[in-house]
């Protein structure tokens, strides 16, 4: 599921070598959600870890990411579920394409799904 979000970089972690063939790097974005800012953890994996090298804490960035989920059974037999936000593109917020403006009106956003907007209902979601 592809999504996007724009926010301020609050934390950039170092790259971690998880296994011989798997590396990951995490970042925290502060997203504005109504009255209260949300600190959201994202991750990059493999070769994408280096994409964060050009950014600093405090930069306003736009990320495109996939929502991932998985099931895991612990040694006691309990099933746990985990989610991750897997970044596949990151850019400075001001480097994005110029927004279109309606004269005298609010800024028009792209039609891509955003983290801070509800998903429109599909016709298949109608209960009749």
Q: What is the mean pLDDT of residues 9-17?
A: 96
For residue 42, pLDDT beyond 80: yes
- How high is the pLDDT of residue 95? 54
Closest CA to 117 of 16, 9, 5, 36: 5
- How high is the pLDDT of residue 107? 31
For residue 77, pLDDT beyond 90: yes
For residue 100, pLDDT beyond 60: no
- How high is the pLDDT of residue 117? 46
CA distance 17 to 30: 26
Region of poorest pLDDT, from 51-55, 86-90, 95-99: 95-99
For residue 82, pLDDT beyond 90: yes
For residue 98, pLDDT beyond 60: no
Closest CA to 26 of 37, 41, 38, 40: 41
Fold of 2-99: OB fold (Dihydrolipoamide Acetyltransferase, E2P) (2.40.50)
Q: From the centroid of its chain, how far is CA 33? A: 14
Q: What is the mean pLDDT of residues 7-26?
A: 95
User: What is the pLDDT of the chain when averaged over all its residues?
Assistant: 81
Name, in order, each residue with C-beta under 8 angstroms of 112's C-beta and a sequence gap of 6 or more: 2, 3, 4
């Amino acid at each position: 599921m592809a999504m996007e979000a724009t926010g301020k970089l609050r934390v950039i972690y170092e790259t971690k070598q998880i296994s011989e063939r798997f590396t990951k790097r995490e970042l925290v974005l502060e997203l504005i959600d109504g009255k209260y800012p949300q600190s959201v953890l994202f991750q990059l994996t493999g070769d994408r870890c280096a994409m964060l090298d050009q950014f600093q804490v405090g930069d306003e960035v736009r990320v495109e990411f996939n929502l991932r989920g998985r099931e895991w059974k612990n040694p006691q037999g309990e099933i746990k579920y985990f989610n991750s936000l897997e970044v596949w593109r990151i850019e400075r917020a001001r480097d994005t394409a110029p927004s279109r403006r309606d004269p005298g009106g609010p800024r028009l956003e792209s039609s891509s799904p955003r983290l801070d907007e509800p998903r429109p209902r599909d016709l298949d979601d109608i209960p009749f």
